[in-house]
Structure formats: structure tokens, C-alpha cells
Amino acid sequence: QVQLVESGGGLVQAGGSLRLSCAAYGITISSYTLGWYRQAPGEQRELVGTFSSGGSTNYGGSVKGRFTISRDNAKNTVYLQMNSLQPEDTARYYCNAVRAGAGSGWNYWGQGTQVTVSS
């Protein structure tokens, strides 16, 4: 069974840092484009950033320079390092893995982990 298991969320003060982890089971993440998304109550899901199978990254404008996505193939885990956190970063964060294939391809989501930034 394919699972993306997230951890690392919690409560942090503004200006602090947090690292989220997403461990994958049933897939090899080096073959996937990986992404982090977030969603605050009453708002639409927002792209935080992506990490391609080839290692290139893209970030949303609101987090560029503060957040970094990395991949550890040996651990089959993708990370989101979040620095200089602001209250506006408060949201539930989700990891995603997608790969082209026959038909609609493969697209997996984690369960999400809550990040709350206090002022």
C-alpha cells in the first residue's frame, strides 16, 4: 500500500524554524516530482514548492528564500525546511508525489500536518 506519512508540525513562535518530514512507503520517491502544499481554514490549497525527480526546485513567491525542499533517497523521505516563520504561514501542510504514466498516472497525497505560528 502506498502511503505518505508526514510529521514535524507543531506550534512555533514567529521568527522560528521548523522542519517537516514526509516518509514514503510503497513508492520510490526518486522517480517522482515531489511537492509541498498548504491550506489554511477558509482558503484554497496553495503550492509551497516542488522538487523534480531530476533535482530542480520551484517555490511560491510567498516562501521563496525562507523555505527549502530537500530529498533523501536513502531514507525515501522528502523534507520542508521552514525558516523565519510568520503567522501567515499557519496552515495544514501536505506532501505530494506525482509521476506520469499510463492513463492518469500516479498521484499521492499525505494526510497533512498542522503548523501554527504564534505572534
CA distance 73 to 96: 16
Length of the chain: 119
Segment 16-31 mean pLDDT: 97
Across the chain, mean pLDDT equals 96
- Quote the pLDDT of residue 105: 86
Greatest distance between any 2 Cα atoms in the chain: 47
Pairing assessment for the beta strands 57-59 and 113-118 based on DSSP bridges: unpaired
| Residue 66 CB neighbours (<10 A) | 15
- Quote the pLDDT of residue 15: 98
- Quote the pLDDT of residue 29: 96
| pLDDT tens string 28-76 | 999 999 999 999 999 999 999 999 999 999 999 999 899 999 999 999 9
